């Protein structure tokens, strides 16, 4: 039996504009929803400030300054042998306020240069349109995606990108981890996904579904526009996949896992099938919710079905029907009835290490949807130490990736899953999303920068750099 993946398999690396670019106000860029996120820490949530407060430290403002280092960084990606590179376009570089009619040429030029540099080395860009980078003005003035006006603004932004980068970018995704916002217990998710905050006295589920409906319309309109501009475009949905296991074979636990899973599947169910699943309509009926359907919305959703499903995978969750957990204290997206899984170890940040869960997820998705899948994030956040001789050994990260790639190979070679590629998260160290730390590192390239913003920004290869280069060079045969 063959032990390698196809030579066309897209091995790559993933980042997101706000977590690595820096240059938060360079080249005419406007502030985004993450530019008002302070630094948190392990177990300490980040705060959202009203505006950019000069007395606060905002780790994303400078991040690792890819904005100023992109040629050097892409050269390193090429040396590693990456076949693709996933990043996002910071919406507020292109439309600084979000509601302008004309885009900011300087912002567009930055991505011209980045994409040309990638293509120079034969690295295929894989682009997310919105990875937590909604212009702050749209959040503060319009209330974010709870307002239907944002559908129009997002479609305009998407069209500008599709037209400008047509011929250079083929793989797109609309919204990053669009299903993360289901977690209304942690306000950071709805804020970063959709620029929405919940006011006192509001029913969070009502706000959530109204927002979700507008995001789904925006995604569908963007997909239809992209296919009209270039029918060859591959435009995907992107969801956070955290498979939910029942704690026991108690049928109550099995059903609790099934119900909790709906929050994960609702968005891709709509984006892939083109219509709402039955369980959501029943939920609206039982809880008196109104997502705000208007005439013509069904057609919009049907006309905007995605071509593939991109997803992130870091960990699994386990639920017990009668457990009572406080999810607002968690930075791992824990659910209300989450419990620890006695069979798996967790990282320092409490994220469960479960490679089998990735094979399991690939099968779940492929069984449910039968469309190509793309693992666009997977990785291990860990503390790295530079040795006195300048080397950085990261055996725990190599181990994590090795075991997860082995599970990926089983899903493809034994289970027959159609998988486009694999892009490990934070291929170069970047700012952690949930905590705002630099200390929680994912990279195979180290960046000299700490939690407080000190450091030279020097780049350095970790041991995982050479390891991953061999994995790619052997099409995954040598792990
Ligand atoms: P950090 C939770 C569960 C799965 C994926 O996270 C998640 C999250 C948090 O929303 O998000 C993705 O940096 C996200 C990236 C993020 C990455 O996880 O907190 O798409 O932006 O950096 C890792 O360790």
> Is 422 contained in some domain?
yes
In whole angstroms, what is the distance from residue 61 CA to residue 57 CA?
A: 9
> Is 478 contained in some domain?
no
Q: pLDDT per residue over 333-375, tens digit each?
A: 667 788 999 999 999 888 999 999 999 999 999 999 999 999 9
- Is the distance from the beta carbon of residue 183 to the nearest atom of ligand 1 less than 6 Å? no
**Contact (CB, 8 A) for 222 and 372:** no
Q: Would the pLDDT of 331 be above 60?
A: no
Q: Would the pLDDT of 332 be above 70?
A: no
Q: How far is the CA of 271 from the centre of ligand 1 (A)?
A: 21
- Is the distance from the beta carbon of residue 333 to the nearest atom of ligand 1 less than 6 Å? yes
> Is 212 contained in some domain?
yes
Q: How far is the CA of 221 from the centre of ligand 1 (A)?
A: 26
The predicted pLDDT at position 328 comes to 66
- Is the distance from the beta carbon of residue 377 to the nearest atom of ligand 1 less than 6 Å? yes
> pTM, whole model, 2 decimals?
0.97
Q: In 10 A of CB 3, how many CB atoms?
A: 12
Give catalytic status of residue 155 as yes or no: no
- Active-site residue identified among 21, 133, 377, 437: 377
Domain with 118 in it: 10-473
Total domains in the fold of the chain: 1
Give catalytic status of residue 177 as yes or no: yes
Q: Give CA angle at 461 (459, 471), nearest 5°.
A: 140
- In this prediction, residues 133-147 reach a mean pLDDT of 98
The predicted pLDDT at position 395 comes to 97
Binning pLDDT at 50, 70 and 90, where does residue 324 land? Answer: confident
> Is 102 contained in some domain?
yes
CA-nearest residue for atom 17, ligand 1, is 433
Q: Which two tokens stand for residue 424?
A: 């490990």
Q: Which two tokens stand for residue 94?
A: 């292109």
- Is the distance from the beta carbon of residue 175 to the nearest atom of ligand 1 less than 6 Å? no
Q: Would the pLDDT of 330 be above 90?
A: no
- Is the distance from the beta carbon of residue 88 to the nearest atom of ligand 1 less than 6 Å? no
Best CA proximity match to 379, nearest among 396, 397, 406, 361: 397
Which of 90, 238, 312, 317 to mutate for ligand 1's pocket (most ligand atoms within 8 Å of CB)? Answer: 312
Q: pLDDT per residue over 235-262, tens digit each?
A: 999 999 999 999 999 999 999 999 999 9
The predicted pLDDT at position 185 comes to 84
In whole angstroms, what is the distance from residue 272 CA to residue 219 CA?
A: 11
Q: What is the CATH number of the domain that holds 177?
A: 3.20.20.80
The predicted pLDDT at position 335 comes to 76
CA-nearest residue for atom 13, ligand 1, is 432
Q: How far is the CA of 428 from the centre of ligand 1 (A)?
A: 15
> Is 5 contained in some domain?
no
Q: How far is the CA of 299 from the centre of ligand 1 (A)?
A: 32
> Is 45 contained in some domain?
yes
> Is 28 contained in some domain?
yes
In whole angstroms, what is the distance from residue 394 CA to residue 325 CA?
A: 33
> Is 479 contained in some domain?
no
Q: How far is the CA of 347 from the centre of ligand 1 (A)?
A: 14
- Is the distance from the beta carbon of residue 238 to the nearest atom of ligand 1 less than 6 Å? no
The predicted pLDDT at position 186 comes to 86
- Is the distance from the beta carbon of residue 423 to the nearest atom of ligand 1 less than 6 Å? no
């Amino acid at each position: 039996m063959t032990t390698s993946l196809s030579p066309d398999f897209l091995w790559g690396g993933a980042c997101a504009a706000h977590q690595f670019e820096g240059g938060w106000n360079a080249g005419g860029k406007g502030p985004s929803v993450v530019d008002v996120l302070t630094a948190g820490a392990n177990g300490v949530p980040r705060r959202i400030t009203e505006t950019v407060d000069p007395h606060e430290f905002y780790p994303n403002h400078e991040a690792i300054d890819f904005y100023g280092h992109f040629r050097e960084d892409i050269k390193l990606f090429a040396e590693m042998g990456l076949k693709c590179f996933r990043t996002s376009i910071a919406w507020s570089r292109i439309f600084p306020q979000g509601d302008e009619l004309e885009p900011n040429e300087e912002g567009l030029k930055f991505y011209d240069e980045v994409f040309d540099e990638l293509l120079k080395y034969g690295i295929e860009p894989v682009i997310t349109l919105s990875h937590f980078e909604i212009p702050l003005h749209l959040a503060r003035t319009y209330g974010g995606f709870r307002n239907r006006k944002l559908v129009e603004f997002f479609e305009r932004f998407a069209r500008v990108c599709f037209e400008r980068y047509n011929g250079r970018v083929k793989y797109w995704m609309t919204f990053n981890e669009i299903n993360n916002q289901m977690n209304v217990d942690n306000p950071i998710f709805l804020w970063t996904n959709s620029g929405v905050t919940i006011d006192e006295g509001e029913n969070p589920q009502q706000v959530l579904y109204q927002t979700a409906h507008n995001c789904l319309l925006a995604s569908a309109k963007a997909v239809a526009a992209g296919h009209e501009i270039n029918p060859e475009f591959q435009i995907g949905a992107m969801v956070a996949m955290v498979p939910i296991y029942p704690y026991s074979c108690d049928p109550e636990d099995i059903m609790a896992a099934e119900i909790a899973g709906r929050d994960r599947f609702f968005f891709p169910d709509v984006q892939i099938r083109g219509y709402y699943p039955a369980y959501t309509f029943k939920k609206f009926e039982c809880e008196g919710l109104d997502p705000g359907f208007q005439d013509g919305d069904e057609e919009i959703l049907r006309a905007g079905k995605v071509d593939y499903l991109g997803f992130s995978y870091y960990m699994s969750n386990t639920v017990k029907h009668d457990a009572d957990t406080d999810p607002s204290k968690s930075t791992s997206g824990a659910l209300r009835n989450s419990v620890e899984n006695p069979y798996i170890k967790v990282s320092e940040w409490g994220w469960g290490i479960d490679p089998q869960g990735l094979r399991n997820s690939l099968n779940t998705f492929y069984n449910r949807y039968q469309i190509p899948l793309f693992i666009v994030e997977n990785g291990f956040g860990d503390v790295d130490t530079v040795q006195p001789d300048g080397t950085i050994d990261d055996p725990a990260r190599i181990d994590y990736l090795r075991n997860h790639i082995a599970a990926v190979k089983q899903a493809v070679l034994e289970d027959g899953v159609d998988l486009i590629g694999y892009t490990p998260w934070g291929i170069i160290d970047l700012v952690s999303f949930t905590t705002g730390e630099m200390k929680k590192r994912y990279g195979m390239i180290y960046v000299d920068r700490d939690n407080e913003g000190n450091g030279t920004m020097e780049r350095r290869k970790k041991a995982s750099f050479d390891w991953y280069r061999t994995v790619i060079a052997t099409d995954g045969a040598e792990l």
